[in-house]
């Protein structure tokens, strides 16, 4: 299991975000610098524009998205270990002892934050358009040429499109570990589909999508897009590895169902069928008689070391 928190640093005191430690990965700064340097070729104010959009605006947007997951987890009685902001977005390290219905709400809570954020930027766009052009007739198009006068309009348009894209990508793409993939898993489990069948369906859906994303990134020469596709493939492989080794209880998306099964066996006065290996610390769940530790990552399950990110 990779420790994604290595190479990161506390962004600000945890008390600033509902007592949740927030860390920023150094690679985020590296990718931001590369993007800004690359935009110099376009000249003018484009380097400043991309710095603002992919720097502070993207950071705040992703942070609010992950806070949506985190606060929803707390609402269902779970705990939050921290949030990591990295080049591929954000990870909220959370855990809860509820079932797939509650987990579905936790998964929905992140993308839903983009609705008020989009509304906020639309309001700002009205003001920026009036200041730049003396009218409130807004357009979702980048002004050309880009000047100091219409820079605010361009930033608002970029922020709106950013929020719409993140909302659609996370919610409508059913590829684990994206929020849409988690919702797919939770929906199947809620409908009574067996864990192994659910895992196989999830892998069969996520793998082609991930390959398509990698191909799209290669065609458009977008490194981040390629990395997102590879990350989805890696997460899908981890799930399939648990499936083929008959160790789904080791996986965070299926630990709760396995725990319920073990608790039912205990209730029937039969020996509990425990996993072949100890439940890893990134699994979630916990019913009477069988309670693993709960630390889970959104959108990818990763272990958050004790105390990491705490200041």
The string of pLDDT tens digits covering residues 185-244 is: 999 999 999 999 999 999 999 999 999 999 999 999 888 899 999 999 999 999 999 999
Beta strands 22-25 and 8-12 are antiparallel
Whether residue 176 contacts residue 253, with contact meaning beta carbons closer than 8 Å, is answered with yes
The Cα 181–Cα 188 span in angstroms is: 11
Please state which of the ranges 34-43, 51-60, 214-223, 247-256 shows the lowest mean pLDDT. Answer: 247-256
Query: What pLDDT, on a 0 to 100 scale, did the predictor assign at position 71?
Result: 95
Strand order in the sheet with 22-25: 8-12, 22-25, 79-86, 89-95, 296-298
Q: How far apart are CA 137 and CA 295, in angstroms?
A: 48
- CB of 306 closer than 8 Å to CB of 6: no
> How much is the average pLDDT of 168-181?
94
Helix (H, G, I), strand (E, B) or coil at 252: coil
- pTM across the whole model: 0.82
State the pLDDT at residue 261.
Answer: 61
Looking from the CA of 290 toward its CB, the CA atoms found within 13 Å total 25
Distant-in-sequence, close-in-space partners of 128: CB < 8 Å, separation ≥ 6: 152, 153, 155, 156
Residue of 86, 115, 94 lying closest to 298 (CA atoms): 94
Distance CA 265, CA 114 (A): 43
Q: Is the dihedral of CA 71, 115, 28, 226 positive or negative?
A: positive
Q: For 21, which DSSP code?
A: -
Indicate the helix (H) or strand (E) that contains 89.
strand 89-95
What span, in angstroms and rounded, lies between the C-alpha atoms of 157 and 140?
6
Are the C-beta atoms of residues 226 and 218 closer than 8 Å to each other? yes
179 vs 128: CA distance, rounded Å: 33
First vs last Cα of the chain: how many Å apart?
25
What's the pLDDT at 43?
Answer: 84
Q: Is the pLDDT of residue 4 over 90?
A: no
Is the predicted pLDDT of residue 119 greater than 70, yes or no?
A: yes
**Over the range 109-127, which residues count as b (16 or more CB within 10 Å of their CB) and which as e?**
bbbbbbeebbeebeebbee
CB of 255 closer than 8 Å to CB of 229: no
Report, as an integer, the average pLDDT of 84-111. 91
Residue % of the chain over a pLDDT of 70: 80
Name the phi and psi angles at 80, rounded to 5.
-125, 125
Average pLDDT, the chain: 83
Angle at 101 between CA 98 and CA 105, to 5 degrees: 95
């Amino acid at each position: 299991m990779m420790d994604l928190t290595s190479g990161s640093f506390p962004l600000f005191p945890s008390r600033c975000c509902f007592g949740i430690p927030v860390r920023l990965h150094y690679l985020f700064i590296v990718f931001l610098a590369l993007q800004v340097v690359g935009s110099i070729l376009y000249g003018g104010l484009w380097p400043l524009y991309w710095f603002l959009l992919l720097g502070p605006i993207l950071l705040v947007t992703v942070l609010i998205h992950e806070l949506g997951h985190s606060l929803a987890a707390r609402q269902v009685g779970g705990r939050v270990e921290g949030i990591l902001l990295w080049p591929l977005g954000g990870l909220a390290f959370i855990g809860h002892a509820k079932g797939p219905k509650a987990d579905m709400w936790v998964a929905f809570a992140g993308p839903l934050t983009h609705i008020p954020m989009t509304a906020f930027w639309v309001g700002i766009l009205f003001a920026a358009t009036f200041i730049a052009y003396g009218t409130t007739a807004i357009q979702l198009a980048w002004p050309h040429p880009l000047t100091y006068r219409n820079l605010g309009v361009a930033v608002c348009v970029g922020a709106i499109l950013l929020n719409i894209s993140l909302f659609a990508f996370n919610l409508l793409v059913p590829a684990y570990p994206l929020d849409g993939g988690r919702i797919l898993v939770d929906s199947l489990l809620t409908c009574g589909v067996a864990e192994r069948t659910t895992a196989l369906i999830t892998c069969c859906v996520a793998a082609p999508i991930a390959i398509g994303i990698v191909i799209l990134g290669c065609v458009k020469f977008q490194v981040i897009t390629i990395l997102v596709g590879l990350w989805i493939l890696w997460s899908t492989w981890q799930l399939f590895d648990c499936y083929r080794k008959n160790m789904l209880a080791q996986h965070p998306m299926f630990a709760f169902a396995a725990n319920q099964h073990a608790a039912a066996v205990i209730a029937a006065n039969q020996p509990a069928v425990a996993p072949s290996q100890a439940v890893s610390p990134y699994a979630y769940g916990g019913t009477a008689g069988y309670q693993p530790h709960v630390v889970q990552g959104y959108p990818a399950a990763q272990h958050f070391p004790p105390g990491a990110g705490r200041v």
